[in-house]
């Protein structure tokens, strides 16, 4: 008997060539399929993900599914896999789902968070999970205006990398937000789906707006006219994290799937006078 299992997983993407299997490269999908096959060797293993994260991109709420036929109880799969997986990949929860449920096609949205460290000096503990932009203090109010323009169904061809196999470049942005916590600026974007490289290209433009190197008018003109040739700067992958995937009927417990990527806050330091 074959049954379908869905997992919510976390991974540090620093050491992987993205999610999807690639010849002669270490990928999250490849490692996960290898470890599942060790536990259920009866059939070939194929793991399907809600989002194909790029090389170096992290995930705190990635959702995947696979079919199996072995004797391991569903609730034991998380601990069984965590005992075999490297420290950079963790399974938070395993649940049984109907055979027609699909991690990608059943999803109603994906939500990404991009973290920017806007402090003057480097921080060792943030360098693998944020983009250090330090030359100018980012104007998060301007960035908020730029983000709000994206809401709704639009053609986002300006934010699509070459090599995509999509038939068109339309998608619906459902929610956007930007927060400043001291020296940390975080941007969140939720959409029904994302184009190849969309968030990183968009973040490159947003930061240019925040640094006032690019006006709101120029930014709007570029993406609304689909001027991909003028969108040259992509934000680095290590600041990006897939934090949530939503479904019509939520199947995982909220504390394990809703938002497990920590928010960081660093104070803005000012000079002080010491009185003896």
Place of tokens 């420290």: 87
> Within 10 Å of residue 221's Cβ, how many Cβ atoms?
13
Residue 180's DSSP bridge partners are 185
Boundary of a domain, candidates 56, 77, 105: 105
Three-class DSSP labels, 137-162: CCCHHHHHHHHHCCCEEEECHHHCCC
The answer on 118 and 204 residing in a single domain is yes
Which three-class secondary structure string do you get for 87-143?
CCEEEEEEEEECCCCCCCCCEEEEEEEEEEECCCCCCHHHCCCCEECCCCCCCHHHH
- Give the integer Cα–Cα distance in Å for 214 and 263: 28
What's the confidence (pLDDT) of residue 274? Answer: 43
Kindly state the percentage of the chain with pLDDT values over 70.
97
Does 264 map to a domain? no
41: in domain: yes
What is the pLDDT, as a whole number, of residue 272? 45
- Catalytic residue list: 54
Do residue 146 and residue 221 come from a single domain? yes
pLDDT band, residue 270 (cuts 50/70/90): low
Reading the block at residue 104, the tokens are 């990608």
Closest CA to 265 of 56, 122, 112, 118: 118
pLDDT at 160 over 60: yes
Same domain, 129 and 101: no
Shared domain check, 72 and 19: yes
DSSP 3-state assignment of 29? Answer: helix
Same structural domain for residues 163 and 179?
Answer: yes
Question: Residue 258's pLDDT band (boundaries 50, 70, 90)?
Answer: confident
For the entire predicted model, the pTM comes to 0.93
- Whether residues 166 and 66 share a domain: the answer is no
What Å distances lie between residue 32 and 41, 78, 107, 127, CA to CA? 13, 12, 21, 26
pLDDT digits (tens, 9 = 90+) for 45-89: 999 999 999 999 999 999 999 999 888 999 999 999 999 999 999
End-to-end CA distance of the chain: 78
Expressed as residue numbers, the domain containing 191 is 108-242
User: Are 147 and 189 found together in one domain?
Assistant: yes
Residues 82 and 208 in one domain: no
Total tally of structural domains belonging to the chain: 2
- Whether 210 is covered by a domain: the verdict is yes
Rounded to whole angstroms, how far apart are CA atoms 119 and 59?
24
User: Is 156 a member of any domain?
Assistant: yes
Residues 118 and 207 in one domain: yes
Which CATH number is 141's domain given? Answer: 3.30.70.660
């Amino acid at each position: 008997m074959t049954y379908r299992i869905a997992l919510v997983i976390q991974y540090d993407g620093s050491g992987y060539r993205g999610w999807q299997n690639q010849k002669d490269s270490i990928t999250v999908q490849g490692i996960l399929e290898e470890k599942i096959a060790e536990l259920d060797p009866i059939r070939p293993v194929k793991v399907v993900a809600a989002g194909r994260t790029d090389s170096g991109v992290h995930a705190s709420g990635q959702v995947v599914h696979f079919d199996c036929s072995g004797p391991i109880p569903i609730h034991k799969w998380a601990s069984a896999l965590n005992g075999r997986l490297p420290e950079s990949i963790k399974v938070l929860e395993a649940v049984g789902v109907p055979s027609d449920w699909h991690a990608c096609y059943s999803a109603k949205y994906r939500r990404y968070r991009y973290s920017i460290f806007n402090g003057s000096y480097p921080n060792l503990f943030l360098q693998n999970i944020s983009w250090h932009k330090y030359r100018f203090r980012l104007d998060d109010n301007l960035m908020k205006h730029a983000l709000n323009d994206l809401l709704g169904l639009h053609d986002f061809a300006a934010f699509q990398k070459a090599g995509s196999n999509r038939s068109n470049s339309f998608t619906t942005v459902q929610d956007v937000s930007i927060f400043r916590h001291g020296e940390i600026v975080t941007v969140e974007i939720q959409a029904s789906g994302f184009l190849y490289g969309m968030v990183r290209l968009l973040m490159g433009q947003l930061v240019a707006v925040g640094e006032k190197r690019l006006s709101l008018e120029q930014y709007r003109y570029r993406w609304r006219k689909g001027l991909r040739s003028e969108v040259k700067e992509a934000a680095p992958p290590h600041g990006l994290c897939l934090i949530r995937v939503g479904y019509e009927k939520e199947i995982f417990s909220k504390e394990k799937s809703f938002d497990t990527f920590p928010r960081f806050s660093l104070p803005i330091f000012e000079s002080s006078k010491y009185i003896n």
